[in-house]
């Protein structure tokens, strides 16, 4: 058969992943949802398992996915415009919900303009493709998300035109800036706002201080770009993410509607000129159909809700549950990385123990994420908990009880 030899080669590639400890397990299939009842939060059903689960592995930090207002907005948009756009944005695939959402997220983040994408990943690729040229230099954090690393590669950034500074190390960032070679006309300093594996915050004020002497040095200037996919919506008193929490601005904000906002899609919020360059040059925007109008309408409603007194109360409740969980870890004498973000890492520091604890959690009705070598460095083996606003006080207490039994 024509595929036989390729199939054999690909099977060997997958087997090599198994040998290296990098093979991903079979995906669990969620096939049911039980709404909150009494003192407990929602429960999830998994195909092939006769059990109800608490999800401590969801990025839906504000738990907006089942809010009636979002579902109503999605239904009404689909009823009016249909379930799919039928074309790319440039060929009459732009509908009112697309432009409404772009205006909404830009206004929420205090930027003149916004542009939406099918995901934050494609937003990152689109940004890099739009602003990279042969005289651009990139400076990034060592723990940046894969979407940033891949964006530089897809945009064709040569090794000589980029530098990586040690994670959150401002002194090393300054060294990288001082070493930018002659002939560079444009500098992009890019970093995660919240580092998703550890829940750590980028020191944005210190980054701004470090880059300040270089902003006028280059012909096209120096800009800061923050991927705040884990920050916007879930972090800061009003959900405006890292810029609000640190009290420091960023020139460009990338993010997602698929985490705290509970829907789907990504965005860039920045100047009118940068957003227009993205619209004109980003392959990941130009050559693909956009988000469905249902996604856009639901995301628009999500941002509207977060930007309200209801949203502030929801964030306050989320932060109370985060504090409850972190206090419980402290009472158990367990190691974590401090911080107020809903991503709470438990530092296990042993790969076999991490894998065993993940299995034990699942057997007791709690879904968590285990991160062991080679996904993380040896000795940094971690269980990543993600606290959501749908978790009740009793849910958090139950997870801590299970943890006390299996640690």
- As for how many domains the chain has, the answer is 2
Query: Does residue 352 belong to any structural domain of this protein?
Result: yes
Does 127 fall in a domain?
yes
239 and 350 share one domain: no
Give the CATH number for residue 178.
3.40.640.10
Residues 77 and 174 occupy one common structural domain = yes
Q: Quote the pLDDT of residue 292.
A: 98
Q: What pLDDT sits at residue 224?
A: 99
**Burial of 281 per CB tally in 10 Å (0-12, 13-18, 19+):** middle
> In which order are the strands placed within the sheet that holds 43-46?
30-34, 43-46, 52-55, 366-367
Domain boundary among 262, 285, 306: 306
Please report, for residues 235, 281, 316, 317, the alpha-carbon distance to residue 322 in angstroms, rounded to integers and kept in the order given: 12, 41, 10, 9
In terms of residue numbers, what domain contains 114? Answer: 68-306
> Which DSSP category does 212 fall into?
G
Which token pair is 3? 């595929």
Give the Cα separation of 226 and 235 in Å (integer).
14
pLDDT at residue number 1: 74
- For residue 360, the model assigns a pLDDT of 98
| One domain, residues 203 and 254 | yes
Domain-located, residue 63:
no
Considering the domain architecture, whether residues 380 and 265 belong to the same structural domain is answered as: no
Neighbours of 367 (CB within 10 A): 17
Give the pair of three-digit tokens for residue 6.
């390729």
Tell me, yes or no, whether 290 lies in a domain.
yes
- pLDDT on residue 298: 99
Question: How far apart (Å, rounded) are the C-alpha atoms in residues 75 and 87?
Answer: 20
Q: At what angle do helices 120-131 and 272-281 cross, to 10 degrees?
A: 100
Q: Is 86 found in the same domain as 27?
A: no
Asked if residue 158 belongs to a domain, the reply is yes
Structural contact between residues 202 and 242, judged by C-beta atoms closer than 8 angstroms: yes
Residue where a domain terminates, one of 267, 289, 306? 306
269 forms beta bridges with: 114, 253
pLDDT in tens, 226-265: 999 999 999 999 999 999 999 999 999 999 999 999 999 9
CA distances from residue 345 to 113, 168, 224, 369 in whole angstroms, order as listed: 35, 17, 27, 10
Q: Is residue 62 part of a domain?
A: no
Question: How far is CA 96 from each of CA 81, 115, 123, 382, rounded to the nearest angstrom?
Answer: 9, 13, 20, 44
Same domain, 173 and 217: yes
140 and 173: one domain?
yes
In a domain, 61, yes or no: no
pTM of the model: 0.96
Strand partners, 161: none
Q: How far is CA 3 from CA 11, 17, 86, 134, 180, in A?
A: 12, 21, 33, 40, 48
The segments of the chain whose pLDDT lies below 70 read none
Same domain, 72 and 171: yes
Residue 134 is predicted with a pLDDT of 97
Pick the last residue of a domain from 279, 306, 333.
306
List, for residues 308-360, the tens digit of each pLDDT value.
999 999 999 999 999 999 999 999 999 999 989 999 999 999 999 999 999 99
Same domain assignment for residues 218 and 315:
no
Question: How do beta strands 252-256 and 266-270 pair?
Answer: antiparallel
Please name the residues in contact with 190: beta carbons below 8 A apart, sequence gap of 6 or more. Answer: 138, 139, 140, 141, 144, 148, 224, 225, 226, 227
């Amino acid at each position: 058969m024509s595929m036989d030899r390729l199939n054999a080669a690909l099977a060997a590639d997958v087997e090599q992943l198994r040998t290296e400890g990098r093979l991903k397990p079979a995906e669990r299939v969620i096939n049911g949802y039980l709404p909150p009842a009494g003192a407990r939060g929602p429960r999830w059903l998994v195909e092939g398992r006769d059990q109800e689960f608490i999800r401590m592995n969801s990025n839906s930090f504000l738990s907006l996915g089942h809010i009636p207002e979002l579902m109503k907005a999605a239904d009404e948009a689909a009823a009016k415009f249909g379930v799919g756009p039928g074309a790319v944005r440039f060929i009459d695939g732009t509908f009112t919900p697309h432009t409404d959402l772009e205006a909404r997220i830009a206004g929420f983040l205090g930027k003149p303009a916004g542009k939406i994408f099918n995901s934050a990943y494609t937003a990152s690729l689109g940004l890099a493709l739009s602003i990279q040229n042969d005289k651009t230099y990139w400076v990034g954090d060592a723990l940046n998300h894969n979407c940033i690393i891949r964006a530089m590669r897809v945009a064709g950034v040569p090794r000589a035109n980029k530098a990586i500074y040690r994670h959150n190390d401002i002194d090393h960032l300054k060294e990288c800036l001082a070493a930018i070679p002659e002939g560079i006309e444009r500098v992009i300093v890019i970093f995660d706002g919240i580092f998703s594996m550890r829940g750590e915050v980028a020191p944005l004020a210190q980054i701004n201080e470090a880059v300040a002497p270089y902003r006028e040095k280059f012909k096209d200037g120096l800009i800061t770009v923050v991927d705040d996919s884990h920050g916007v919506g879930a972090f800061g008193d009003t959900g405006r993410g890292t810029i609000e929490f640190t009290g420091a601005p960023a020139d460009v904000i990338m993010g997602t509607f698929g985490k705290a906002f509970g829907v789907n899609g990504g965005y860039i919020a920045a100047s009118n000129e940068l957003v227009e360059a993205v619209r004109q040059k980003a392959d990941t925007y130009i050559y693909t159909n956009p988000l469905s109008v249902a996604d856009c309408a639901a995301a628009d409603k999500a941002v509207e809700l977060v930007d309200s007194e209801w949203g502030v109360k929801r964030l306050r409740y989320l932060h109370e549950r985060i504090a409850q969980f972190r206090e419980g870890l402290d009472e158990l004498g367990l190691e974590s990385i401090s911080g107020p973000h809903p991503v709470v890492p438990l530092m296990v520091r042993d790969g076999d123990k991490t894998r065993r604890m993940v299995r034990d959690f699942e057997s007791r009705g709690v879904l968590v994420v285990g991160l062991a070598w080679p996904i993380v460095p040896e000795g940094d083996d971690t269980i990543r908990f993600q606290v959501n606003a749908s978790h009740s006080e009793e849910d958090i207490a139950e997870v801590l009880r299970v943890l006390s039994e299996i640690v």
